[in-house]
C-alpha cells in the first residue's frame, strides 16, 4: 500500500468514526416530534468548563436544537473554508472555500441576531465531532485535500445541513426560525450544486 493510499485510508476511517459518533450522539436525544438533531442537554452544564452548546430559551426544543446544529455547522464550514485557503491546490476549490467563509459568516451573524431576539445564545464554534473531522482534513495537502474537502465539506456536510434546514422550513414552531431556514435553504442548495460540479471535475476517488 502506498503512503498516499494509507494516508487517505486513515483519514477516511477518521471521518467514518466521527460520523458514527455523531449518530450515536443524536440517536438517543431526538425529540419525539422533531428532526433528528442533537437536543440541548437535559441537565445544567458544569460552569467550571466552557461550553460549546447554546443557552436555553423559551423556544421549543426542536427549534433550539435546529439553531444549535445550524450554528455549529456554520462555524465548521467557515473553518473548513479557511483550511482550503492554505491547503487546496486547485484554484476552484480554494475559491469555493472562500465562498464558504464569506457566506457562512453572514449566515452565522444572521442566526446569532435571530437567536438573541429569542433569548437564546447559540454555540460559537463547531461541535466536537466536527472539530475531529476538521483535524483529519487538516493533515491532507494538495490534490488529496481538494478531493476530501469537496467530498466531505462540499457534498456530505451540505447534504446533511440541507436536510436539517428543509425540515425546519416545514416544521419549526417559531415563525422567525422557520423564515430563517426557508431564506437560507436556497444558498445551501447552491453550495451543494457547486460542490458536486467540482467533485465531478476532480474525480471522486
In this structure, is residue 56 part of a structural domain? no
User: N- to C-terminal Cα distance for the chain?
Assistant: 16
In this structure, is residue 57 part of a structural domain? no
Instruction: Please state the pTM of the whole predicted model.
Output: 0.74
Please say if the pLDDT value at position 13 is more than 50: no
DSSP string of 50-89? Answer: ---SPPP-SS-HHHHHHHHHHHHHHHHHHHHHHHHHHH--
The alpha carbon of 21 is separated from its chain's Cα centroid by a whole number of angstroms, namely 15
In this structure, is residue 177 part of a structural domain? yes
Cα 14–9–193 angle (5° rounding)? 75
Given a contact cutoff of 8 angstroms between Cβ atoms, the answer to whether 77 and 89 are in contact is: no
Q: Which CATH number characterizes residue 175's domain?
A: 1.20.1260.10
For residue 204, what pLDDT band results from cuts at 50, 70 and 90?
low
In this structure, is residue 119 part of a structural domain? yes
SS (H, E, C) 106-164: HHHHHHHHHHHHCCCCCCCCCCHHHHHHHHHHHCCCHHHHHHHHHHHHHHHHHHHHHHH
Which of 57-61, 68-72, 79-83, 150-154 is predicted least confidently?
57-61
pLDDT value of residue 170: 98
Residues 6+ apart with CB under 8 A from 183: none
What is the per-residue pLDDT across 160-187, written as a single tens digit (0 to 9) for each?
999 999 999 999 999 999 999 999 999 9
In this structure, is residue 43 part of a structural domain? no
Domain of residue 144, residue span: 3-25+62-202
Number of domains in the chain: 1
DSSP string of 124-138? Answer: SS--HHHHHHHHHHH
In this structure, is residue 77 part of a structural domain? yes
pLDDT value of residue 39: 34
What is the per-residue pLDDT across 121-152, written as a single tens digit (0 to 9) for each?
999 999 999 999 999 999 999 999 999 999 99
In this structure, is residue 144 part of a structural domain? yes
The whole-chain average pLDDT of the chain stands at 82
What is the per-residue pLDDT across 88-114, written as a single tens digit (0 to 9) for each?
999 999 999 999 999 999 999 999 999
In this structure, is residue 90 part of a structural domain? yes
Q: Compute the half-sphere exposure of residue 164: CA atoms within 13 Å on the CB side of its CA.
A: 27
Amino acid at each position: 500500500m502506498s503512503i498516499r493510499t494509507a494516508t487517505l485510508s486513515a483519514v477516511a476511517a477518521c471521518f467514518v468514526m466521527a460520523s458514527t459518533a455523531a449518530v450515536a450522539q443524536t440517536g438517543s436525544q431526538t425529540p419525539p416530534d422533531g428532526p433528528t438533531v442533537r437536543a440541548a442537554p437535559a441537565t445544567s452544564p458544569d460552569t467550571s468548563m466552557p461550553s460549546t452548546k447554546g443557552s436555553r430559551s423559551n423556544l421549543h426544543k426542536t427549534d433550539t436544537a435546529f439553531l444549535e446544529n445550524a450554528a455549529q455547522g456554520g462555524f465548521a464550514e467557515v473553518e473548513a473554508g479557511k483550511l482550503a485557503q492554505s491547503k487546496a491546490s486547485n484554484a476552484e476549490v480554494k475559491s469555493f472555500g472562500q465562498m464558504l467563509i464569506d457566506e457562512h459568516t453572514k449566515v452565522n451573524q444572521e442566526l446569532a441576531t435571530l437567536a438573541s431576539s429569542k433569548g437564546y445564545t447559540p454555540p460559537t464554534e463547531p461541535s466536537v465531532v466536527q472539530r475531529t473531522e476538521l483535524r483529519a482534513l487538516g493533515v491532507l495537502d494538495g490534490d488529496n485535500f481538494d478531493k476530501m474537502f469537496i467530498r466531505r465539506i462540499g457534498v456530505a456536510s451540505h447534504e446533511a445541513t440541507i436536510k436539517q434546514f428543509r425540515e425546519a422550513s416545514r416544521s419549526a414552531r417559531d415563525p422567525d426560525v422557520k423564515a430563517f431556514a426557508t431564506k437560507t435553504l436556497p444558498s445551501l442548495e447552491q453550495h451543494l450544486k457547486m460542490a458536486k460540479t467540482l467533485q465531478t471535475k476532480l474525480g471522486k476517488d
